[in-house]
Amino acid sequence: MRNGLGSAFVDYYKFEPKSQKMVGIYLKNSPEWLLVDEACSAYSIISVPMYDTFDKEALAYIVEHSELSLVVTSVKFLGRLLEISENLNILKHIIIIEDEEDIDLAHKEICEKRGISLRTFKQDIEYGNEHFQEHVPPKADDICTICYTSGTTSKPKGVITTHKNMVATDAAFFELMPDPLKFTKDDTHLCYLPLAHMFERCITHAMVGYGMKIAFFSGATKDLVKDIQEVQPVVFPAVPRVLLRIYDTINQTIEKSNFVVKNMFNIAFKQKKKLLDKGCVSRDTVWDKLVFKKIQVLLGNNLKLILSAAAPIESKVMEFFRIIFGVNVIEGYGSTETSACGILTLVGDYTSPYGHHIGTLFPSMELKLVAVPEMDYYPSDDQPRGEVCFRGSNVTLGYYKNEEETKEVYIDGWFHTGDIGVILPNKALKIIDRKKNIFKLQQGEYVAPENIEAKLDNQYISQLFVYGTSLCSKLVAIVVPDKDVLAPICKEKFGMEDPTLEDICKSEDVKNMIMDEIKKMAKETKLHGFEIPAEICLISEPFTIENGLLTPTFKTKRNKAYLKYKTEIDNMYKALGEYKEDN
């Protein structure tokens, strides 16, 4: 199938190997997604994956920016693709993965009217099999893909990624895996994170290279646990948001249980914590058989490894999974610009005397810290601190058609991440701050809102957006309360019967309680006074990918969040006596 599709790209669509013509992949995770990508690689054609959650503005930008004349998609996304292509006059060919009878007649007519060829996956594979073309294997430095970042504050940037970058990430990852955790052809991987994101893409490519079976999730996030139980994967790559949901669900279930169950759980947890402190991760203890076995089936019986990446995760959450599920849990740190590669927790390195850290450098990379004087971070500090920079086989070439931004972060072969790190005495890296998205308050103090949000996160808050401006001296925050946690509290303490999230948001008692918890967390995490929001506003609409407030990797689109809640933000500053017309 790969050869047939690749041959069709070359012979039917006249995509010359090693040219600058690119194939767009606009699909949900599926076997067809991987086949398109493999076909492109076999014939040295550049692929351009697009998140299926991209809004029309981002989608149109990518099609135009990368000059996509050919896109492989599904009937579900065909209408949106035709809508954004109406004024672009770039798209010439569309391949649909379903059968011809599944294509809407109106869409066929639009394609015919605009001179866009509309063919099916099956038609092209059959054509390619009849007109087979020899493979044109890529060289290491040939471009593999233009991977567009989801972008929290600006238009997506197309990261130019070579075949060497992709292979280096997979090779380095497996070099760090001990033999007992090495995967085999008998193992299965569940592909559920977006393949358009470099994290899932590199993992899936690596698993294919190992000859493993690849299963694709059903498509509904709420059914992810069911998919895991059916597929029984050996590795569970996850973003912290997914792990936190499982963590919260288990804790809430235990909290609602009777005294005997709760007591047994706590005793078992403490006993396995003692084993973990000695470096032992196991699911074969008496406590697993008596207490944790029923919980462990949530993630299947074959799980060897949980890999958290794409955002920071609390050490207590990783410890929880190591204890409850008896599997190794490690954290990865990287970015699209470093081919999802950078730092990785060494398996078993869970008892550092220096506290939580990400881990050690991938063997294919070099790291340096660069001084950030405005934030008082210097590599010459007793514990070296500064902006984390990477150099090595995994560092990509830069941003496609964006020399200005490339020069800002790709400097003399080093990629500047914008994250602030500290090198601990055991040579592990810990991320402590963020250089990007920093701003100055009116009094001249620099603020890193993402760092503050991470430190103020607590049981009452589902989502938090901290905002400030150089025109004001205080911070404010938009808060989405956690209904599951607060509803029973509201009933018990404030006499609210079956409160909705809207009811909770209207309660001054709840607002005061959340504000008190924010102040408590600020004290515990040693935030400065100017880093504590002076006012908060509770809202009932969660930040989601669908409403445009989250990227596909669940990071807040800060500018869009500000624009959506500008009225609420202005009102908070008015209440503080700090409102400015130019806020």
Q: How many residues does the chain have?
A: 583
Tell me which residue has tokens 């220096």: 354
**Predicted local distance difference test score (pLDDT) of residue 395:** 98
Position 341 pLDDT exceeds 80: yes
Q: Among residues of the chain, what percentage have pLDDT more than 70?
A: 98
Asked if residues 475 and 452 have their Cβ atoms less than 8 Å apart, the reply is yes
The CB density around residue 449, as the number of other CB atoms within 10 Å, is 22
Q: Which residue has the higher pLDDT, 160 or 183?
A: 160
Quickly list H helices, 210-346.
Answer: 224-231, 240-255, 259-277, 286-287, 293-296, 315-325
Q: Which residue has the higher pLDDT, 180 or 362?
A: 362
Nearest-10 crossing angle of helices 259-277, 240-255: 140
**Residue range 272-319, pLDDT digits in tens:** 999 999 889 999 999 999 999 999 999 998 999 999 987 778 788 899
Nearest-10 crossing angle of helices 163-175, 198-209: 70
Question: Which residues, including other chains, have CB under 8 Å from residue 106's CB and lie 6 or more apart?
Answer: none
Asked if residues 324 and 317 have their Cβ atoms less than 8 Å apart, the reply is no
Q: Is 362 left (phi over 0), alpha (psi -120 to 50) or beta?
A: beta
Burial code of 197-232, b = ≥16 C-beta within 10 A, e = fewer?
Answer: bbbbbbbbbbbbeeebebbbbeeeeeebbebbeebe
Structure tokens at 332: 């990865």
Position 583 pLDDT exceeds 60: no
Q: For the chain, report the end-to-end CA distance as a whole number of angstroms.
A: 56
Burial code of 10-42, b = ≥16 C-beta within 10 A, e = fewer?
Answer: bebbebebeeebbbbbbbbbeebbbbbbbbbbb
**Residue range 388-414, pLDDT digits in tens:** 999 999 999 999 999 999 999 999 999
**Predicted local distance difference test score (pLDDT) of residue 59:** 93
Position 112 pLDDT exceeds 60: yes
The span from the CA of 246 to the CA of 340, in Å, is: 24
**Predicted local distance difference test score (pLDDT) of residue 244:** 84
Question: What does the radius of gyration of the chain's CA atoms come to, in whole angstroms?
Answer: 25
Q: Which residues pair with 118 in a beta bridge?
A: 94
The span from the CA of 340 to the CA of 364, in Å, is: 12
Report the candidate in 167, 533, 581, 545 with the shortest Cα–Cα distance to residue 341: 167
Ordered by where they begin, the domains of the chain are 2-138 (3.40.50.980), 213-434 (3.40.50.12780), 439-575 (3.30.300.30)
Report the candidate in 79, 68, 83 with the shortest Cα–Cα distance to residue 36: 68
Residue 67 CA, distance from chain mean position: 26
Q: Which residues pair with 95 in a beta bridge?
A: 72, 119
pLDDT confidence bin for 560, thresholds 50/70/90: confident
Position 367 pLDDT exceeds 90: yes
**Predicted local distance difference test score (pLDDT) of residue 476:** 97
Entry pTM: 0.82
The span from the CA of 284 to the CA of 293, in Å, is: 9
